[in-house]
Amino acid sequence: MTNATPLLSLKNVSKVFSGYRALNDVSLDVYPGQVLCLLGDNGAGKSTLIKVLSGFHEPTAGTLEWDGKAVTFKSPRDANERGIATVHQFGGTFPLMTIGRSFFVGVEPTKGWGPFKRFDKKHANETAVKEMQALGITRVTDGERLVGALSGGERQASAIARAVHFGAKVLILDEPTAALGVKEATHVLRIIMQAKHKGIAVILVTHNVTHALTVGDHFAVLIRGEKADDFKKGERTREQITDLMAGGEAMAELEAELDTLTGSINKIH
């Protein structure tokens, strides 16, 4: 699979914000039908990397390649048009909009003609509900309900359903499971697998190693803006990954140290 041309690549990308180097010489390849997990602690540069990929920031140095050809994203719209969709932590980001309306934000379906062209609410509601049900969210039957009334997992699902519906080729998921309970997180991971099997390139940003290992095909670890490691499924153990994410320090040592501090409490239990 890795012999195929990557759909999207970063070549030696750096991003500098007024003297602060948020990303330093990062190269990444994103393949269709694969889940790339972007791991890293808070402040490691994950958000900056997402913003470069989704067109919010232009890299200070380095290039982006789409299907092997160099591209520049001047705006999120450019990235959108290529088929890059970003879903943020809380999924449906418009809690006070109806499911139907928020599903079509920015790409509203219309009916009618000329000055009487209007938003096709019925179509929007029906499509949104249908696409969410296709991802296993069967509780949602009314597109007029507000997004805020959905659970965290359902919101993620609605956002992913939206991306899939509009033919996203690259789906960037920013900490989709961070705010969810165990059951809901599992559901979201299942939806990620569904998206992957549809041939979508998924970039999963997370600091949850368990979730990453469950669905990931390919992993990249960011530390202080640099790519510290890049490996395929099965090439690293969970401990190695956690150690790396903690900034190269051995987590085991830290835990041992913690044990000596909390030892007396542990004995009571």
Partner 1 sequence: MTEATRRKFDPTSLIRRPEFGAFIGTVVVLIFFSIVGGASFTQPGGIASWLNVGAELGIIALPVALVMIAGDLDLSVGSSLAAGGTTMAVVSGFFNLPTWIGVLAGLLMGVLIGLVNGIVLVRTNLPSFVVTLATNFAVFGLVLGFTKLITGTIAVDIHPDPIIKNTLGSLMGGLFETAIVIWVIVAVIVSWILYKSIYGNWIYAIGGDMVSARSTGIPVNKVRIWLYVGTGFASALVGVIQTALYDSAQVNAGQSFVFNSIIAVVVGGVLLTGGYGSTIGVILGTMTFAIVNQGIFYTGWDSDWASLILGILLLIAVLTNNTFRRLAITGGKKKGQKSND
Choose which of 16, 71, 134, 146 interacts with partner 1 (CB under 8 A): 146
User: Least distance to partner 1 from the beta carbon of 219, Å?
Assistant: 25
Q: Does 256 bind partner 1 (CB under 8 A)?
A: no
Q: Binding partner 1 by CB under 8 A: which of 31, 66, 73, 104?
A: 104
Residue among 230, 222, 194 at smallest CA distance from 206: 222
Q: Considering the rule CB under 8 A, would residue 125 count as an interface residue with partner 1? A: no
* Ramachandran angles phi, psi of 15, nearest 5°: -135, 120
Q: Of 85, 123, 134, nearest to 93 (Cα)? A: 85
Q: Given the rule CB under 8 A, which of 76-84, 185-193, 220-228, 250-258 is the region that contacts partner 1?
A: 76-84
Write the interaction track for partner 1 spanning residues 8-47; mark x where CB under 8 A is met and - where it is not: ----------------------------------------
Q: How far is the CB of 261 from partner 1 (least distance, A)?
A: 41
Between 31 and 103, name the residue whose CB sits nearer to partner 1: 103
Query: Does 118 engage in binding with partner 1 (CB under 8 A)?
Result: yes
Exposed e or buried b per residue across 24-59, where buried means at least 16 C-beta atoms within 10 angstroms of its C-beta? bebebbbbbbbbbbbbbbeebbbbbbbbbbbbebeb
Q: Which of 184, 175, 210 is nearest to 88 (CA)?
A: 175
